[in-house]
Amino acid sequence: MRVGTAWMVLLVAGVLETAWAVGLKYTQGFTRLWPSVATGAAAVASMVLLAIAVKVIPVGTGYAVWTGIGAVGTALIGMVWLGESRDVLRVLCLALIVAGVLGLRFVAEQ
């Protein structure tokens, strides 16, 4: 797999991490069948894609980027769709995570 392809796989893995993290809210503690199935499928797919990506990308970089995408994506969905706080300091902190993810992407060894 080429490096560029590995980064695209990692991006999709991060988006799926966001999906399963948000999905946890709708499982109601895994008491609702279909939201639980969808959340579990997204989690498994996310981790499989992460594993594929880190065959090429250094694991520390890949894991940090995957986690960053999931954290920022989940927080943004929480703000936009779930009515969570949009406090300026919170948004600034998310921007710092994005800066860190982009920094890791552009200084990655591969």
DSSP secondary structure of the chain = --HHHHHHHHHHHHHHHHHHHHHHHHHTTTTSHHHHHHHHHHHHHHHHHHHHHTTTS-HHHHHHHHHHHHHHHHHHHHHHHS-----HHHHHHHHHHHHHHHHHHHH---
pLDDT 10s digits, 71-92: 999 999 999 999 999 999 999 9
pLDDT recorded at residue 26: 96
Predicted TM-score (pTM) of the model is 0.91
pLDDT recorded at residue 78: 97
Q: How far apart are CA 29 and CA 9, in angstroms?
A: 29
pLDDT 10s digits, 53-72: 999 999 999 999 999 999 99
Q: Rounded to a whole number, what is the distance in angstroms from the first to the last CA of the chain?
A: 12
- The ranges assigned to domains in the chain are 3-107
Q: Of 22, 27, 3, 54, nearest to 13 (Cα)? A: 54
pLDDT band at 109 (very low <50, low <70, confident <90, very high): low
Residue listed under structure tokens 């880190």: 54
pLDDT recorded at residue 70: 97
Q: Would the pLDDT of 98 be above 60?
A: yes
Both structure tokens of 108:
């990655």
Q: Would the pLDDT of 110 be above 60?
A: no
